[in-house]
A and B are shown apart, each in its own frame.
Chain A
Amino acid sequence: MKRSSICHLITLLAALACAGWNSAKAASPATGLMGVVKSADRKPLEGVPVSAKAQGSTITTSVYTNQSGEYYFPPLPGGQYQMWAQTVGFELTRAEQTVSPGKKIQQDFTLKPFAEAWKQLSDAEWFASLPDDTAADRKMKRVLLYNCGTCHNSGFVLEKRFTPADWGLIISRMSRISGSYDPPYGLDCCGGVSYPGGDQIPGGGKFAKAMLDDENKPIGAERRILEFYKNDIIDYLSRVRGPESSPLKLNPFPRATGESAAIVVTEYDIPSKDGRTLGRLDPKSGLTTQFRLTSDGATVRNDKPYYHNNEFRDGSDWSRGQRVSYQEEGQHDLILGRDGYVYLSPSIGVGLDPQGNIWYGNDMAVKFDAKAEKLTPFPLPKGWPIFYNGKDIDSRGNFWAAELNGAYRLNPKTGEYTEFKSRSPLGRPYGLTVDSEDNVWFAQIAIDTLGYVDGATGEVGEVKLPPIDDEEMSAADRAVGWGWTMNQPLYGKGPRRLRADMKGDSLWVCEYFGGRLAKIDIHAKKVTEYKLPGWYRYAYPYEPVVDKNHTVWFSLGNADALGRFDPATAKFTFYPLPTRGANGRHIDVDNTHATPEIWVPYDAAGKVARIQFRSPS
């Protein structure tokens, strides 16, 4: 054999070995837990999730059936397992099995029809099922999308039915909540400080005309939007989700096939926590150790955290309806450590420094020394606005955080914070990330603008996203001013969180309300946008992450799915998640495997998920 052939053979064998079980197996293995899922009329069902959870375990493993209705699990630890299979329109069906490593265990499922299939819909499927025949109805769907979805899974709203008076009562209360965050007046608007710009509005300028609430207090940018659409929303909800017969046309998405169904989803229950507690999940055992920063600066370790789980509200049974963000103790952000652990941040935004330490924070930066297992706080100067959502670490180990006026940089060696003010005022900095050249980017969600701090010069600049111009809206809709995070105009896109290709020159941005991905050339600052296909328009893309192959993965708050975008082909692929109402937010990628693995925390379902990819059978 020629030397080159031997090299090729070695390379091939090495590649197969590295690919491992998770991505290499196309056919069912000879041993393990497996079976077939059929409907009551004996037809195989493809794309059905089958889940298994061992007694006393925090780990649920789910796989999907192929076109023959067959499924098989990866090797599972021995034990007594609860199993279940379900899909929209079919009853959840349970089974129990004892798994012994090395043995073949066959568990078939026959799913009966489920009459109340609407209860099982994902949030985006709710939107797909709403009336869509007129321009007015299509617009109202987007009005709901732009005014309810920062706080609520859409299904949480749409599964309920009230009289017009009661919808009116509820929306009025919603308006007051919006006003609480209302720039420039809302009490909770501005990072714990009174906005120094007085009457300034998002993006600059002042309101042309004052608006007052019931107590003669001025109404700001966000509440103005909700008040503008308030009566339309009440009328619409009263029609589509009122006491009378609902004009829904059940429209579930097609079940996953081929590549989309060739995944293994491992979900980990997460324990209760408070705002000062960092979780460290061991993916092998499924156990979480917590580290809490006490008020006197000490670190307290807890190896037996409290779990408050309830199977009726954790999204594992789709027929239980939709979640809301407060329903389960969800996890908003996570990050993969260099030590094999998964870190569960107590607040939004988390970073990993060059030494492998974890950084997060809400009102101050906190560093977790992963080796010493010690938390260290870095207090903000008094009177400075607290952090907004995004945090990251640059190549020099500086901590960065989004904030009211732009971004902070913390030098960990000196504890000194420096503020970099955005060019546009009140843009509501949200996500923040560092690109491959140490430029720091922050999404100004309220004004469809991306701010950046040049990594070499410290100069601040901006990139504007163009307004939506390909969807139906009136002149009055276009005259609505900028909002904030909860209410936005129909022409807005809402850039939420963003991540860079660390092996390239692209920055990727999720346009939450606009239902698009944006690619920014970090040198030319050129913007290229990609619309999510079909009903994924309503799926709330939240955050992207770019793997070592330049593939873009993104979380979807409203669709119980993981998105994938191949920049080379501009092709979108969606992978289902087995929990209903998961509300995926943050996302991270494990590039240590031949085939990258994706991690998504569920903000509304008390779990975090790892998604592994098989070769389609």
Chain B
Amino acid sequence: MNLRGGMISVLALACLLAPIALAAQEAESSARAQASSSADQKRGASLPVLNQQQRRGEALFVQNCPLCHIPSKQKKTLGIQGPVLRGMYGEDADQDSLWQIIEQGIPGKMPAFRFTLDSKQIDDVIAFLKAGAPSKTPGVAN
């Protein structure tokens, strides 16, 4: 399997699920209460510093992706948990493959974001993923 094909396979696995709605607001608080850990401060201290583009990408990521790609007990129970993207990609990840998945989606599994994100925004998301996707998204022990 060549690099590009391998990357697409990894991404296909990673994008098994489409963005989904979150739990009810009141349940969110409960989830936040129970899922987060006391490692917040330690984790915060260990997070890499993101550049401007990566920070834009982080914002777009948490606005469009975490509903599948951030784990939760509920999603696992329901069988709709997508793989965690954190740390999955490095600097050498294939740009075209990432682009294709985000833009085109995976029929029946992940929606295409080509009508929602413009090319600059997709670049920003990829920059964030390549930085290790170190999002400390609220409410989840990622």
- Per-residue B-contact encoding for A301-327, CB less than 8 Å = 1, 0 else: 010011110111100000011111111
Given A162-B111, A312-B59, A326-B138: A274 and B20 interface contact (C-beta under 8 Å): no
Cα of A150 to Cα of B21 in the assembled complex, Å: 10
- Is the C-beta of B36 less than 8 angstroms from some C-beta in chain A? yes
The CA of A163 and the CA of B103, in the complex, are separated in Å by 12
> Which of A173, A273, A324 is in CB contact (< 8 Å) with B63?
A324
Q: Inside 8 A of A170's CB, which chain B residues have their CB?
A: 18-20, 111
* Shortest distance from the beta carbon of B123 to any chain A beta carbon, whole Å: 14
Instruction: Tell me, yes or no, whether B1 is within 8 Å of chain A by CB.
Output: no
Report how many residues on chain A are interfacial, defined by Cβ distance under 8 Å.
67
Asked if B20 and A362 sit within 8 Å, CB to CB, the answer is no
CB proximity to B under 8 Å, residues A71-96: none
B86 within 8 Å of A by Cβ?
no
Assess whether B115 is in contact with A162, with CB atoms less than 8 Å apart: yes
B112 to chain A, nearest CB (A): 6
Most B-side CB within 10 Å, residue of A275, A348, A585:
A275
Are the C-beta atoms of B66 and A320 separated by less than 8 Å? no
CA A152 – CA B24 in complex, angstroms? 9
Q: Which residues of chain A in 245-303 are interfacial with respect to chain B, using CB atoms and an 8 Å cutoff? A: 272-276, 292, 294, 302
When the two chains form the complex, which single residue of A163, A188, A276, A305 contacts B27, counting CB atoms closer than 8 Å? Answer: A188
Interface string of B9-51 (1 = CB under 8 A from A): 0000000011111111111111011111110110111010000
Q: How far is the CA of A310 from the CA of B116 in the complex (A)?
A: 21
CB interface residues, B 50-96, toward A, < 8 Å = 55-56, 58-59, 62-64, 66-67, 70, 74, 77-78, 80
Q: Is the CB of A274 within 8 A of B38?
A: yes
| Segment with Cβ contacts to B, from A37-45, A137-145, A175-183 | A175-183
Q: Give the residue name and chain of the B residue nearest to A170 (CB).
A: B18
Write out the residue numbers on chain B whose beta carbons fall within 8 Å of the beta carbon of A325: 22, 25, 28
User: Most A CB atoms within 10 A — which of B27, B62, B64, B111?
Assistant: B27
B22 touches A151 (CB 8 A): yes
A328 interface hit (Cβ, 8 Å): yes
Contact A327 B63 (CB under 8 A): yes
How many residues of B sit at the interface, in one of the four size bands? Answer: 35 or more
A151-B25, A306-B44, A326-B137 given as contacts; is B77 within 8 A of A177 (CB)?
A: no
**A177 B26 Cβ-Cβ under 8 A:** no
Q: How far is the CA of A302 from the CA of B18 in the complex (A)?
A: 38
What is the chain A residue whose CB lies nearest that of B56? A312
Whether B23 and A160, one on each chain, are in contact in the complex, defined by CB atoms closer than 8 angstroms, is no
Q: A174 at interface (Cβ–Cβ under 8 A)? A: yes
Residues of B within 8 A of A176 (CB): 20, 78, 80
A156 at the interface (CB under 8 A from B): yes
Measured CB to CB, the nearest residue on chain B to A169 is B18
Give the distance in Å from the alpha carbon of A181 to the alpha carbon of B28 in the complex: 12
Contact present for B108 and A272 (CB under 8 Å): no
Known: A166-B112, A325-B25. A173 touches B20 (CB 8 A): yes
| Residues in chain B near residue A614, CB distance under 8 A | none
What's the least CB distance linking A175 to chain B, in Å? 9
Tell me whether A326 and B22 are in contact in the complex, defined as CB-CB below 8 angstroms, given that A161-B116, A165-B107, A169-B108 are known contacts.
yes
Q: Is the interface of A mostly helix, strand, loop or mixed?
A: loop
CB distance from A495 to the nearest CB of B (A): 14
Q: Chain A 474-485, CB within 8 Å of chain B: the 1/0 string?
A: 000000000011
| Residue B7 interfacial (CB < 8 Å) | no
Least CB separation from A305: chain B residue: B41
Query: Would A276 and B38 count as touching, CB distance under 8 A?
Result: yes
From 153 to 167 in chain A, residues with beta carbon under 8 angstroms from any chain B beta carbon are 156, 159-163, 165-167
Q: Tell me if B132 is interfacial: C-beta within 8 Å of chain A.
A: no
Contacting residue for A332 out of B23, B29, B34, B47, CB 8 A? B29
**B residues in contact with A328, CB < 8 Å:** 138
Given contacts A173-B80, A176-B80, contact A329 B138 (CB under 8 A): yes
Is A187 positioned at the interface, with any CB of B under 8 Å from its CB? yes
Contact A181 B63, beta carbon cutoff 8 Å:
no
- Tell which of B36, B80, B107, B137 touches A274, judged by Cβ atoms closer than 8 Å: B36
B24 and A348 contact, CB distance less than 8 A: no
Report the nearest A residue to B111, measured CB to CB.
A166
A603 contacts chain B at the CB level, 8 A cutoff? yes
Q: How far apart sit A159 and B121, CA to CA, in the bound complex (Å)?
A: 14
With contact pairs A177-B21, A485-B25 given, residues A313 and B59 touching in the complex (Cβ less than 8 Å): yes
- Within the complex, what minimum Cβ distance (angstroms) separates A105 from chain B? 28
- Distance to closest chain B CB from A559 (angstroms): 16
A275 touches B36 (CB 8 A): yes
Neighbouring B residues of A173 by C-beta, 8 Å: 17-21, 80
| Closest partner residue, chain A, to B114 (CB atom) | A243
Question: Bound complex: CA of A313 vs CA of B66, how far in Å?
Answer: 14
Bound together, the chains give a CA A176 to CA B79 distance in angstroms of 10
Would you call B55 and A312 a contact (CB within 8 A)?
A: yes
* A603 CB contacts on chain B under 8 angstroms: 25
With A176-B78, A347-B33 in contact, is A326–B62 under 8 Å at CB?
yes
Within the assembled complex, what's the spacing in Å between the Cα atoms of A72 and B74? 49
Neighbouring A residues of B70 by C-beta, 8 Å: 326
Q: Which residues of A contact B78 (CB under 8 A)?
A: 176-177, 180
The verdict on A308 contacting B136 (CB below 8 Å), with A180-B74, A272-B44, A276-B38 known, is yes
Partner of A347 from B21, B30, B109 at Cβ < 8 Å = B30
- Tell me, in angstroms, the Cα distance from A159 to B56 when the chains sit together: 17
CB proximity of B101 to chain A, nearest CB, Å: 14
Beyond A166-B111, A325-B25, whether A160 also contacts B80 by CB under 8 A is: no
* B66 shortest CB reach to chain A, Å: 6
Partner of A160, one of B30, B43, B74, B116: B116
Q: Which residue of A lies closest to B30 (CB)?
A: A362
Nearest-neighbour CB distance to chain A for B7, whole angstroms, equals 22
The 9 closest A-B pairs by CB, nearest first: A275-B33, A306-B44, A166-B111, A313-B59, A312-B59, A274-B36, A161-B115, A173-B20, A329-B138
4 more contacts with CB within 8 A, not counting A275-B35, A313-B58, are: A163-B111, A275-B32, A276-B33, A313-B59
Q: List 21 A-B contacts (CB under 8 A).
A: A148-B21, A161-B116, A162-B111, A163-B115, A170-B111, A173-B18, A176-B20, A176-B80, A177-B74, A187-B77, A188-B23, A276-B33, A308-B47, A310-B55, A320-B59, A321-B63, A322-B63, A325-B28, A326-B66, A327-B138, A485-B27
